[in-house]
Structure 1
């Protein structure tokens, strides 16, 4: 008997990949689902988010929390991101990510993630270095994008994770570049924000990656994509200069 079940999934193209990546890069928080080792029950909580340079979500949680203990027992987890917006919350795009979480133990990796996280959540500086807190990186296995009614897509990890091949040194240059732009070129940062429709001035550059940059203004986050991914860390400066020019 033929399978008459309709396939509701649509084809993933570059514009859909960018939509999924934007939902992750611009998320300030998400709903984290873990598994309770006592009986395997799902356990869902809200966590504040940032991203590593490759676009993987990162979060900071306390060892005293239930989800920390759950992840120590079983690293499998899921994460929901996407702002509800006005009106029917089911009409707005959201992304469910499935994978595992890894506690960041390397001092170098932790410091880089910490700085990216604190530029997104500056109040977390009060407790980020407490001994009972740790950063975790979400390792994406697959994801499901619901872009609104009738818009469903299935992603592989490669659809959402950005390759860092050839731009490995960008991580070393990021903090200095961000500080320089915010202190000496705040007008350029505001022009970056204006390019993605922001109306206010006073934006700050938060993070950089090979495909674009993230800006913050209080609780607001704006994502600006480069026309093409950086081929090397040396390409960053000319790209930032070109983006600062008015159209």
Structure 2
């Protein structure tokens, strides 16, 4: 340490110039990647921060969330909302995901995504896919989803900052958070049929997924969405995420994967 006399006669204490700065970041590993992805995939809402056009100040708003097949967050906003004009003027925005539980809210994991908002044009296959996935998570939004002043925005992730709790800080890049999707149209077509089929004919399997494999508790669970890395289950305000053992390269592998998961759950029950 260096000690110097200040002009007021008091001594100033400071660190040596060559003292190394402690690196608070941990090395990003698969556990951190899974935690960050799970926070986004299972989030019903998040805090969106965008730059207010007139003042340049950050504007933070609560937004309802869904995800695309690759895990990118999706929001539905009205032109009457301040954050819509903000991301239309400057697409740079940040999204905070992660809900506090019991005790100290700072002890619970959360992730901040640094993104650019991309408005999705109506009438496109992407719009149809995101509309279906969003309504699967937020069915009450069907009341206004097709209003002319509402638009879907996909938040394109550049990087992320993960806080997994005290002393568990990670920096993640785009590839750490997004699942590769070889053919989005093929996946969307397979997902639509598979989700409808499971909810109509295999409620028992869905119940096993949620209550045995995920241990999410008893509820009227339904399947909401499927993607290459897993599936989302919903029951009212509850959301549960079930990860596949391995990411699926082909949507044709979905059926055998779902059958295997149901068999695994029955053997554990």
TM-score bracket for this pair, using the shorter chain length = over 0.9
Give the RMSD, CA atoms, in angstroms: 1.1
Match of 2:175 among 146, 158, 161: 158
1:54 corresponds to: 70
Q: Secondary structure at the match of 1:169?
A: helix
Match of 2:238 among 197, 213, 220: 220
Task: Give 1 or 2 for the bigger CA radius of gyration.
Answer: 2
Q: TM-score, normalised by structure 2?
A: 0.90
- Residue 61 of structure 1, CA deviation: 0.5
2:39 corresponds to: 23
Q: Secondary structure at the match of 1:70?
A: helix
Match of 2:204 among 187, 197, 209: 187
Stretch of structure 1 that moved more, 100-109 or 160-169: 160-169
> What is the 5 A alignment of 1:92-107?
92-105=108-121, 107=124
- Residue 50 of structure 1, CA deviation: 0.3
Stretch of structure 1 that moved more, 8-17 or 103-112: 103-112
Distance 1:167 1:68 in 2: 26
Instruction: Check conservation: 1:84, 1:92, Cα contact below 8 A.
Output: yes
2:187 corresponds to: 170
CA separation of 1:167/1:69 partners in 2, compared to 1, >3 Å: closer, same or farther? Answer: closer
Match of 1:196 among 192, 210, 214: 214
User: How many aligned positions are there?
Assistant: 247
Q: Secondary structure at the match of 2:66?
A: strand
Instruction: Check conservation: 2:157, 2:174, Cα contact below 8 A.
Output: yes
- Residue 167 of structure 1, CA deviation: 6.7
Distance 1:206 1:166 in 2: 20
- Residue 2 of structure 1, CA deviation: 2.9
2:6 corresponds to: none
Stretch of structure 1 that moved more, 232-241 or 103-112: 103-112
Q: TM-score, normalised by structure 1?
A: 0.97
* 2:83 maps to 1:67: yes
CA separation of 1:230/1:63 partners in 2, compared to 1, >3 Å: closer, same or farther? Answer: same
Q: Secondary structure at the match of 2:196?
A: helix
Q: Secondary structure at the match of 1:83?
A: coil
* 2:131 maps to 1:114: yes
Distance 2:115 2:130 in 1: 19
- Residue 102 of structure 1, CA deviation: 0.4
- Residue 231 of structure 1, CA deviation: 2.1
Match of 1:242 among 260, 263, 269: 260
Runs of 4+ in 1 over 6 A off after TM superposition: none
